Chain A
Amino acid sequence: MGKAYWRSLDELAATAEFQDLLAREFPHLAEELTDPRTRRDFLKLMAASLGMVGMAACRWPKETILPFAGRPEGRIPGVPQQFATAMGLFGNALGLLVTSYDGRPIKVEGNPLHPESQGAAHLWAQASVLELYDPDRSQAVVQRQAGQRVVSSWEAFQQELRGLLAALRSSQGEGFWVLGDATPSPTRVRLQEKLAAAFPRARWVDWDPLVRWQELSGLRQGTGVTVVPHLELRRARVVASFGDDLLLRHPQAVANARAYAEGRRDSQHPLRLFVAEPVPTVTGAAADLRLAAAPGRLQQLLVALAQELAKVGVSLPLQLPPVGELSEKERAFVATAARDLARARGASFVAVGAALPPACHALGFAMNLALGAVGSTVRYTSTVQAPGSASLDALREALSRGEVQLLLVLGGNPARTAARELGGEENLRRAKSLVRLGLYEDETSRLAHWHLPQAHFLEGWGDLRSAEGVYSVVQPLIAPLYGGKTAEELLSFVLGEERSGYELVRESFAALVGRADWEQAFRKTLHDGVWSEKLAAPVAVQLVDTGWLAALRFPEETKLAAWVMPDSKVLDGRFANNPWLQELPEPITKLTWGNAVLLGPATAKALGVRHKELLRVAWEGGEAVLPAFLLPGVAEGTLGLVTGYGRQAAGRVGDGVGVALPGVAAVGGSLAVVSLQGTGRTGEVVSTQEQQAIDKLGLEALGHRLGELVREVRAQDPVLPPEERTELRPPMPWKERQFSGEYQWGMAVDLAACIGCGACVVACQAENNIPVVGAKQVAKGRQMHWIRIDRYFAGSPEEPSFAFAPVMCQHCENAPCEQVCPVAATVHSEEGLNEMVYNRCVGTRYCSNNCPYKVRRFNYFNYFKNVSQVTKMAFNPEVTVRGRGVMEKCTFCVQRIEAAKIAARNAGKPLADGAVVPACAQTCPTQAITFGNLADPESRVAKLQRDGRAYGILTELNTRPRVLYLAKITNPPEEA
């Protein structure tokens, strides 16, 4: 078989198609084809061949993933390899290491060398693998004439484009517009400049609703220069956030989360977090003092804070407008925050929500300057995200005036995410010719004359620059499955040079290095994933102008206002077709597969709204009907809404999931609600933890139990009182058998660190081939996630405190599940693992009944029945794909344990501490999960389990869990 494979490749190599393809995709391989030199070269070569087959058949041909019978030199089939690459999101870059199996990227991890990642990866990075193998991604060049969809080819497109460009060249590019997606790519910028040179009158606009445009312009107004902030959260002792989701929906979320967790655990200078926000976010949930503030109040609170700061000696050179009457809670919040910020001067800063108007960001900057934060906790660097040579408004006007000859849309999905800014579909249709490069044939593509398949970042060359200027190469792990091209490749074609992404990146890098020996540097950068030199140094900034103050006016109070944010899973909708993210429970609401109107219980009562009742919400220029979802902690008179749902052209998974918010800015922010009517009908709300559905009796019980399940300590003295440190090992009535294993695996989960973001859940799903069951099954309570992040509210429903506890199989030494299994399908290993033997399981489900933690999951159907061939490539070959009728659960990533043990045995030395890292622990942005060998008293996990915060859940049942929890740390401010 393998031989045949090689033969066929040789044969293919002869064909013009293959040569041509290589020339376009991987020209540097053309010569390597004759003699594969290094393993990496070989892999690229293979990727090329795979990619080509992918192009030929748009699906994975089985033979190419069979192991090689005749093994090429230096290649060990089945041995995974990691390659460094980077992912762009929120206008920032996240360095990644991607695990590749026989040429298939199957798992994404953070790149420890990348400062934004430090080894962790957010849930979108984890889910990107599934996006790569999404069968719904656009697979062909498509031409639309008079509404007719015609499958065309790159050649045909290039043919037509040449013509268009020729015309444009004569007019110096008059009417030539490019709408980019603000990818912070040096190569992109280089080509952008080239384009400007070739077509002087061409206009370039960048748009991505996740980029903090308001902040950019606010800072430009305040500082006079174009800079992006870079937070040094780890240095901060006090942080005040005003509607800013620092820990999840933020360019630096991963780094912030890590810093937050470290700050929490620092008993000398514990971090204190003040958060004022309309709707609970993970950041608010992590706050020590949280104020549920109506959207309209945020700006006044910000000004009030500035005034309060002046009182405590941090004066601003500003004539601040007077703020209206503050409520008792608001005054207390502002006063305490101001006091603590001032006390921690130089180690504190104010964070302003991305959706707040520029003036607020300018004010925030002013305050940070006064607090001495600039240069210490906040640094500013110049950015590549110069909002182009024009704005969306300019484009809208040009479109409406019909002046746009050629509109080149690179990525993004402006027809949906900028519909409001661009004047809607109609306006976009006014472009003479609209060419669109995109991952999916989505809403925008439907308006385009030409749709071109875009290469996923895992299949095309590129480069990225992080906010603070760290350069990394986006290295493909596989050739485009569907013959896509990167935006850079398209631009280079427009410029008439037809360079491959690889060449373009090398050129840019060479230019950046500017030395003859750049080649080594390039190799090293490829290997490390980051270049040792930074592209930008911090810029010294000061408050140059206060003109923006005039723009700082407060919205008039409305009885009912909505606060809109990009969804914390599918964001602006770009991940709507990603089943992992759709099924991931939203951190706070635990909603899956859709969105809802979030209201506080009091507000709902006042409005006479039932939980799950369908509401008709109307605002300026749009309305939607969505189910109500009662959520503690939503500000009074506030409706919480998220964008990103109700996609029309997302794909088979995302279409029609949730409800769209027509006419609402994708960036979100405050939204004046015109009207709200209950329809009386009940809507479908799929939540994995229906707190609201629990009756009074249940809530009382929850109240009793919460204290035991999630225990809390003060940051200054992080030790549990003795009475809360329950006896972990009550004696047994018989002689106990000691564990004979050399390693004794255990885990420690730090609740002080966990922010509930859900990255671990997705990572676990990716690592362990966990099926996606879909909305109907989740509604029945059959979700399969091996990790359940328990989310609890405490205190009053209006000002709740939040607690998260990731619960996976506790690998109890006295596992109740084992004894009741009639066929011994779940037994204990000598290393203390509770092992699930899928092949032996007959599916009595008795084990689950007897599991006090309810962490076992059952395959009620064959959930892999309808998984497409392409998606199957994302499977981890090290993990059994479970069939129908068997039980499954967390295995502590036993495949990783065994791999590490084998490696150690081959190397002839014992396993080092930290050599085994389960997927959840590896990706956790806050490093809340520690795994290791309890038999070694010096191991990190052993130390943590001896820590004063360590406790077990339900240990009174004498289950002796191998997973211990470290008590949540709170650092509330004393009353002002």
Chain B
Amino acid sequence: MRGAEVRPLPPPTLWGLAGEFADVDRFLAAVEACRKEGFVHYDAHAPIPVHGLDEAMEIRPSQLPKLVFLGGLLGCLGGLALQWWTNGVDYPFRISGKPLFAFPPAIPVTFEMTVLFSALFAVFGLLVANRHPELYHPLFELPAFAKGSDDKFFLVIEARDPRFAEEETSRFLQRLGAVAVHRVEVA
């Protein structure tokens, strides 16, 4: 249904071309070829994480792990500081003849805080990096793209790419073995 509404003028403008692939191998080869061809504004979409795609597209390793480590550090120190300050400094009490602050009883909470913060940083880091939530995207205008979360693979070349030329590019995609090439239009 998506993108199927009858839209008034102005006529839709071309955003890019989406080559639809039916199996992983041809898809991978196509992505690699596309890169070699020198396209920059292109992206590959798959229903599953396809292996070798990173190499094919030369995606740089993510920086998220560093962020997560930062979060963990924060949680760890924060947890320790919290316990030391509250029980040792701000609200000291004689309890069971025990020291005001000691490490052994502080371990569990410190540990949990470490994990909690790392996890929060990881997940929210992911969302930010992926710019999610992103509830609208031109591709969603393409009815066929619904299959992109099922069993079809899409190689999308955007119109803004300097090397983009509709006919040529569409032929290029077909040559790579796309079962179909779709025009992705935006109103």
Do A and B contact each other directly (Cβ–Cβ < 8 Å)? yes
Indicate if A883 sits at the interface (CB-CB under 8 A). Answer: no
Evaluate contact between A827 and B97: CB separation under 8 angstroms.
no
Q: Is A723 an interface residue (CB 8 A)?
A: no
- For B94, the chain A residues whose CB sits under 8 A away are 737, 827-830
Tell me if B98 counts as interface (CB < 8 A to partner A).
yes
Q: When the two chains form their complex, are residues A827 and B95 in contact, meaning their CB atoms are under 8 A apart?
A: yes
Say whether B93 contacts A960, CB under 8 Å. Answer: no
Q: Do B93 and A813 touch (CB < 8 A)? A: no
A734 and B95 form a contact (CB under 8 A): no
B99-A819 in contact (CB<8A): no
Chain A 152-174: CB-based contact to B (< 8 A → 1; otherwise 0): 00000000000000000000000
Name the A residues within 8 Å of B95 (CB-CB). Answer: 818-819, 824, 827-828
Tell me the nearest residue of chain B to A817, going by C-beta. B96
- Is A755's CB within 8 Å of the partner chain B? no
Chain B residues whose CB sits within 8 angstroms of the CB of A734 once the complex forms: 98-99, 102
Within 8 A of A (CB), among B88-105: 91, 93-99, 102
Q: How far is the CA of A830 from the CA of B97 in the complex (A)?
A: 11
**Complex: A487 Cα to B102 Cα, angstroms:** 70
Residues of chain A lying within 8 A (CB to CB) of residue B97:
732, 736-737, 813-815, 828, 960
Interface size of A by CB at 8 A reads 17
Q: Which of A818-848 contact B (CB under 8 A)?
A: 818-819, 824, 827-830
Cβ distance A216 to chain B, nearest Cβ, rounded Å: 60
Residue of A nearest to B93 (CB): A827
For window 38-95 of B, CB contacts with A under 8 Å fall at 91, 93-95
Q: Measured between C-beta atoms, what is the minimum distance from B92 to chain A in Å?
A: 10
B96 and A814 contact, CB distance less than 8 A: yes
- Chain B, 107-141, CB within 8 A of any chain A CB: none
Q: Which residues of A contact B96 (CB under 8 A)?
A: 814-816, 818-819, 828
Q: How far is the CB of B71 from chain A (nearest CB, A)?
A: 26
> Is A824's CB under 8 angstroms from B98's CB?
no
In the bound complex, what is the Cα–Cα distance between A734 and B100 (angstroms)? 11
Closest to B98 in A: A819
Least Cβ–Cβ distance between A849 and chain B, in angstroms:
14
CA distance A813 to B95 in the complex (A): 9
Q: How far is the CB of A808 from chain B (nearest CB, A)?
A: 19
Closest to A829 in B: B94
Q: How far is the CB of B154 from chain A (nearest CB, A)?
A: 54
Contact residues of B: prevailing secondary structure: loop
Give the CA-CA distance A824 to B95 in the complex, in Å: 8
CB contacts (< 8 Å) of A816 on chain B: these are 96
Which of B94, B98, B99, B102 has most chain A Cβ within 10 Å?
Answer: B94
- The chain B residue with its CB closest to the CB of A832 is B94
- Give the docked Cα–Cα distance between A816 and B98 (Å): 10
Contacts of A736 in B (CB 8 A): 97
Smallest CB separation, A684 vs chain B (Å): 41
**Which residues of chain A come closer than 8 Å to B91, judged between CB atoms?**
824
User: Could you say which residues of chain B place their CB within 8 Å of the CB of A732?
Assistant: 97
Interface residues of A in 785-817 (CB under 8 A from B): 813-816
Are A824 and B99 in touch, CB under 8 angstroms? no
Q: Determine if A828 and B93 form an interchain contact, defined as CB atoms under 8 angstroms apart.
A: yes
Chain A residues, CB < 8 A from B99: 734-735, 737
Q: Shortest distance in angstroms between B37's beta carbon and chain A's nearest beta carbon? A: 65
State A816–B95 Cα separation when bound (angstroms).
Answer: 9
| Chain B residues, CB < 8 A from A813 | 97
In the bound complex, what is the Cα–Cα distance between A824 and B98 (angstroms)? 13
B91, B93, B95 pick with most chain A CB within 10 angstroms = B95
**Bound complex: CA A736 to CA B94 (Å):** 11
- Cα A819 to Cα B95 in complex, Å, equals 6
Task: Report the minimal beta-carbon distance from A855 to chain B, rounded to whole angstroms.
Answer: 16
Measured CB to CB, the closest approach of chain A to B73, in angstroms, equals 27
Q: Could you tell me the distance between the alpha carbons of A735 and B95 in the complex, rounded to whole angstroms?
A: 14
Complex-state Cα separation, A739 to B91, whole angstroms: 18
Determine which residue in B91, B96, B99 has the highest number of CB atoms from chain A within 10 A of its CB, and name it. B96
Interface string of A946-966 (1 = CB under 8 A from B): 000000000000001000000
A116 shortest CB reach to chain B, Å = 44
**Nearest opposing residue in chain B for A740, CB measure:** B94
Q: Report A-chain residues with C-beta under 8 Å of the C-beta of B93.
A: 824, 827-828
Could you tell me which residues of chain A, from 729 to 752, have a CB within 8 Å of some CB in chain B? Answer: 732, 734-737
Distance (whole angstroms) from the CB of B152 to the closest CB of chain A: 55
State in angstroms the CA–CA spacing of A167 and B45 once bound together.
120
Whole-angstrom distance between the Cβ of B95 and the nearest chain A Cβ: 4
**Please, which residue of chain A has its CB at the minimum distance from the CB of B97?**
A814
Q: Name, among A736, A813, A818, A960, the residue most crowded by chain B CB atoms within 10 Å (CB to CB).
A: A818
Shortest beta-carbon distance from B2 to chain A in Å: 52
Closest A-chain residue to B87, C-beta based?
A: A824
Interface centre among B91, B93, B97, B98 (most CB of A within 10 A): B97
Instruction: Across the interface, name the chain A residue whose C-beta is closest to B100.
Output: A737
Within 8 A of B (CB), among A580-600: none
Contacts of A737 in B (CB 8 A): 94, 97, 99
In the complex, the chain B residue whose C-beta lies closest to that of A824 is B93
Q: Which chain A residues border B98 with CB–CB below 8 Å?
A: 734, 814, 819
By a CB distance below 8 angstroms, the chain B residues around A827 are 93-95
Give the distance in Å from the alpha carbon of A57 to the alpha carbon of B152 in the complex: 90
Within 8 A of A (CB), among B147-182: none
Residue-wise interface mask of A (759-796) relative to B, using a CB-CB cutoff of 8 A (1 in contact, 0 not): 00000000000000000000000000000000000000
Q: Which residue of A lies closest to B105 (CB)?
A: A819
Beta-carbon nearest neighbor of A960 in chain B: B97
| Assembled-state Cα–Cα distance A827/B94 (Å) | 6
Q: Which residues of B contact A824 (CB under 8 A)?
A: 91, 93, 95
Inter-chain CA distance A960–B94, complex, in Å, is 14
* Shortest Cβ gap from B96 to chain A (Å): 4
In angstroms, Cα B91 to Cα A414, docked, is 64
Name which residue of chain A comes closest to B95, CB basis. Answer: A818
C-alpha gap A26/B91 in the complex (Å): 56
Within 8 A of B (CB), among A298-317: none
B-side contacts of A814, CB under 8 Å: 96-98
A239 CA / B24 CA spacing, docked (Å)? 106
| B102 contact set on A, CB distance < 8 A | 734
A46 to B54, CA, bound (A): 94
**Chain B min CB distance to A308 (Å):** 59
Q: Mark B23-37, 1 if CB is under 8 A from A, else 0.
A: 000000000000000
A 359-385 binary contact with B (CB < 8 Å = 1; else 0): 000000000000000000000000000
A735–B100 Cα distance when bound, in Å, is 11
Residue numbers in B under 8 Å from A829 (CB-CB): 94
* Whole-angstrom distance between the Cβ of A257 and the nearest chain B Cβ: 37
Q: Which B residue's beta carbon lies closest to that of A814?
A: B97
| Complex CA distance for A892 and B171, rounded to whole angstroms | 94
How far is B87's CA from A819's CA once the two chains are assembled, in angstroms?
12
Taking the nearest CB of chain B, how far is it from the CB of A753, in angstroms?
Answer: 31
Closest chain-A Cβ to B109's Cβ sits at a distance in Å of: 12
**Could you tell me the distance between the alpha carbons of A814 and B99 in the complex, rounded to whole angstroms?**
11
Encode A318-359 as 1/0 by CB contact (under 8 A) with B. 000000000000000000000000000000000000000000
Closest to B86 in A: A824
Q: CA–CA, A536 to B101, complex, Å? A: 70
CB distance from A722 to the nearest CB of B (A): 26
For the complex, what is the distance from the CA of A814 to the CA of B95, rounded to whole Å? Answer: 8
- From B102, which residue of chain A is reached at the shortest CB distance? A734
**Cα of A114 to Cα of B62 in the assembled complex, Å:** 91
A810, chain B: closest CB distance, angstroms: 13
Given contacts A737-B99, A819-B98, 12 further A-B contacts (CB under 8 A): A735-B99, A813-B97, A815-B97, A818-B95, A819-B96, A824-B93, A827-B93, A828-B94, A828-B96, A828-B97, A829-B94, A830-B94
30 A-B pairs within 8 Å (CB atoms) are namely A732-B97, A734-B98, A734-B99, A734-B102, A735-B99, A736-B97, A737-B94, A737-B97, A737-B99, A813-B97, A814-B96, A814-B97, A814-B98, A816-B96, A818-B96, A819-B95, A819-B96, A819-B98, A824-B91, A824-B93, A824-B95, A827-B93, A827-B94, A827-B95, A828-B93, A828-B94, A828-B95, A828-B96, A830-B94, A960-B97
Top-7 shortest CB links A-B:
A819-B96, A814-B97, A828-B94, A818-B95, A827-B93, A818-B96, A814-B96
